[in-house]
Amino acid sequence: MTLPWLTILLLLPILGSVVVALLPARLGGPLPKLVGLGFSVLTLVLAIGIAVAYQPGTGLQFAEEVTWIDLFGAHYALGLDGIGLTLVLLTVILTPIVMLASWEDGETGRWGAKGLFAWMLALEGLSIGVFAATDVFLFYVFFEATLIPVYFMVAGYGGPRRVQAAVKFLLYSLAGGLVMLASVIGLYVVSADSEGGPTYLVSELAQLDIGTAAGRWMFVGFFIAFAIKAPMFPVHTWLPDTTEQATPGTSVLLVSVLDKIGTFGMIRFCLEIFPEASRWATPVVIVLAVFSILYGALMAIGSQNISRLIAYTSVSHFGFIVLGIFVMNSQGLAGANLYMFNHGLSTAALFLVTGYLISRRGSARIEDFGGVEKVAPVLAGLMLVAGLSSLALPGLSPFVSELLVMVGAFVYSPWVAAFAVLGIVLAAIYVLWLYQRTMTGPVHEGVAGMRDLGLREIGALAPLVALIVALGFYPQPLLDVINPAVDHTMSQVEKSDPRPTVTEGEAQE
């Protein structure tokens, strides 16, 4: 009898969330925060244990499966493959870091720091559930449930227009989720008509013979939800508004962890369950992805607000990830998977370091800064590292993933690669120009006397920078875990019927 490790991993932060929320108010002080941090570190330790015990290879590990709602075909089914494992790791690594970095951000919020930490832990648990779910119904439940903590984190903590931002975020996500619900129910109808009776297990759905038209409709439903989540052009508009208002910590969890659900879902559900429809949609999706890359980069260059700028860089980066997924070759897919992890790290570093900057200055407008590197050299240095990792400098971890995606894109079509590479050039402009305008030049009167980073703040960033550098030089451990899962996905995609030759501009029905 083995222990249900994934269930424990998922429940631990949720338990922590309840404990933190229920701590009596008179015990004030840092205790709730310490308890919250303790739970997140405990989760991290457990997850590292699971990662160590994980055998790189195909198939799901740590699988659990219990029938949940028989008539719906729903199961409580968890399991990890390489893709899920990396994203679970990303979640558990970022949560304690974000807590440490947001140590003081929650005090003035709606429910105090205690509430912020409780919501963070709840989000952590639910995110682990999303990445570990191997049943579509269960995935959907977690997918929607994650909205609740994020909604309250955005609406309760942050800038003056945070409530509107939170509502916008929630409505966008709910709309996407409900469109997906139609497709989820469609899967039930298809599977209920099959011999095995209704089922929602991904492994069984992937074997299912879904009609071409039905498969394409359901694919569209799933894809819309994931595109909103990711976020892709043209359904990205909620992201800049949200990150502008949210605290840096919330933005990190939102962009680095939660938005990965979108791209994760594309791989796990769109590609594996609807391979035919995925190939059918490839031309459109790739055009949208390239559009996202360029549009996000251009908008980032034009942004006057640091938080909005980072949000737009993410739109651009998610374009790369989606591109890597839908070129449908193993280089692109491996690159996209790696990109998800690395983008999480680099965006987290960027959000946190600019968060320090913004909270010191009390403004997020770029024109309010200048010459910061003279007054706060450590902050400036870390911001440079984070920025360089965002533009994928060789030696830093995002470089490897971006290279793989570009190789995949080139294999697919040199034209696509040519357009996508423009995004890399533009990335250099938005990062370096941001650095130049805020950090260099004469000291802006508003930043004179700015404190440099304290020990806690550096402590939160140090593990991120260390990981970015380490994985930049030696990404092999991650690739070892990811590659078998990528091979599995590729075999799913190529299995059904011979691959049509798709060339740029050729209309597929």
Partner 1 sequence: MNGFDAPKIEYFTVSPILIVLGVAVIGVLVEAFAPRKLRYPLQVGTALVGLAAAFATSVVVFARLNPFAGDVKAGKVVAEGALAADGPAVFCWLLVLVLGALSVLLFAERRLEAGVVGFAGQAAALPGTEAEREASTSGLEHTEVFPLIMFAIGGMLLFPAANDLLTMFVALEVLSLPLYLLCGLARRRRLLSQEAALKYFLLGAFSSGFFVYGIALVYGYAGSMGFAQIAAAVQADGGERGLLLAGIALISVGLLFKVGAAPFHSWTPDVYQGAPTAVTAFMAAATKVAAFGALLRLFYVAFGGNRTDWTPMIWAVAILTMVVGSVLAISQTDIKRMLAYSSIAHAGFILTGFLGIRSLDEVAAGGLTGVSAVLFYLTTYGFTTLAAFAIVTLVRDGGGEATHLARWQGLGKESPLVAGAFAFLLLAMAGIPLTSGFTGKWAVFAAALQVGAWPVVIVAVLMSAVAAYFYVRVIVLMFFSEPVGDGPSVTTPSIMTSVVIGFGVLATLVLGIVPGALIDVLGRVGVFIR
Instruction: Please report the DSSP string for 396-414 in residue order.
Output: SHHHHHHHHHHHHHHHH-H
In the complex, the smallest distance separating the C-beta of residue 115 from partner 1, rounded to whole angstroms, is: 11
Structure-block tokens of residue 17: 């969330």
In the complex, the smallest distance separating the C-beta of residue 220 from partner 1, rounded to whole angstroms, is: 11
The three-state secondary structure class of 68 is: strand
At which residue do the structure tokens 């550096």 appear?
458
Q: By C-beta, is 70 or 367 nearer to partner 1?
A: 70
Q: What is the dihedral of CA 340, 33, 109, 22, to 10 degrees?
A: 110
Q: By C-beta, is 147 or 386 nearer to partner 1?
A: 147
What's the angle, vertex CA 21, arms to CA 15 and CA 22, rounded to 5? Answer: 90
- At 66, give phi and psi (nearest 5°): -130, 135
CB 293 within 8 A of CB 316: yes
- At 134, give phi and psi (nearest 5°): -120, 20
What's the angle, vertex CA 337, arms to CA 331 and CA 340, rounded to 5? Answer: 135
CB 126 within 8 A of CB 146: yes
In the complex, the smallest distance separating the C-beta of residue 187 from partner 1, rounded to whole angstroms, is: 10
Q: By C-beta, is 224 or 310 nearer to partner 1?
A: 224
In the complex, the smallest distance separating the C-beta of residue 198 from partner 1, rounded to whole angstroms, is: 8
Single-letter amino acid code for the residue at 369: F
Cβ-count burial 394-427 (b if 16+ within 10 Å, e if not): eebbbbbbbbbbbbbbbbbbeebbebbeebbebb
Q: Across-strand partners of 61? A: 80
Q: By C-beta, is 107 or 193 nearer to partner 1?
A: 193
In the complex, the smallest distance separating the C-beta of residue 197 from partner 1, rounded to whole angstroms, is: 8
Instruction: Please report the DSSP string for 341-377 in residue order.
Output: HHHHHHHHHHHHHHHHHHHHHT--BGGG---HHHH-H
- At 195, give phi and psi (nearest 5°): -65, -35
Q: By C-beta, is 130 or 299 nearer to partner 1?
A: 130
Q: By C-beta, is 74 or 348 nearer to partner 1?
A: 74
In the complex, the smallest distance separating the C-beta of residue 358 from partner 1, rounded to whole angstroms, is: 22
Q: What is the dihedral of CA 370, 299, 257, 178, to 10 degrees?
A: 150
Structure-block tokens of residue 35: 């308890």
Q: By C-beta, is 131 or 419 nearer to partner 1?
A: 131
Please state, in angstroms and as integers, the Cα–Cα distance from residue 415 to each residue in 234, 360, 393, 406, 420, following that order: 22, 45, 23, 11, 9
Tell me the C-alpha distance between 275 and 208, whole Å: 11
Q: By C-beta, is 81 or 241 nearer to partner 1?
A: 241
Please say whether the dihedral angle defined by the alpha carbons of residues 185, 190, 195 and 196, taken in this order, is positive or negative: negative
In the complex, the smallest distance separating the C-beta of residue 505 from partner 1, rounded to whole angstroms, is: 31
Phi-psi region of 292 (alpha: psi -120 to 50; beta: other; left: phi over 0): alpha
In the complex, the smallest distance separating the C-beta of residue 146 from partner 1, rounded to whole angstroms, is: 10
In the complex, the smallest distance separating the C-beta of residue 152 from partner 1, rounded to whole angstroms, is: 8
Q: By C-beta, is 217 or 433 nearer to partner 1?
A: 217
Q: By C-beta, is 154 or 420 nearer to partner 1?
A: 154
In the complex, the smallest distance separating the C-beta of residue 175 from partner 1, rounded to whole angstroms, is: 4
The three-state secondary structure class of 75 is: strand
CB 272 within 8 A of CB 202: yes
Structure-block tokens of residue 177: 């989720």
Chain contacts with partner 1 (rule: CB under 8 A)? 68-72, 110, 140-142, 144-145, 147-148, 155-156, 163, 167, 170-171, 174-175, 178-179, 181-182, 185-186, 188-189, 192, 197, 217
Q: By C-beta, is 143 or 412 nearer to partner 1?
A: 143
Q: By C-beta, is 182 or 502 nearer to partner 1?
A: 182
In the complex, the smallest distance separating the C-beta of residue 71 from partner 1, rounded to whole angstroms, is: 5
In the complex, the smallest distance separating the C-beta of residue 141 from partner 1, rounded to whole angstroms, is: 4
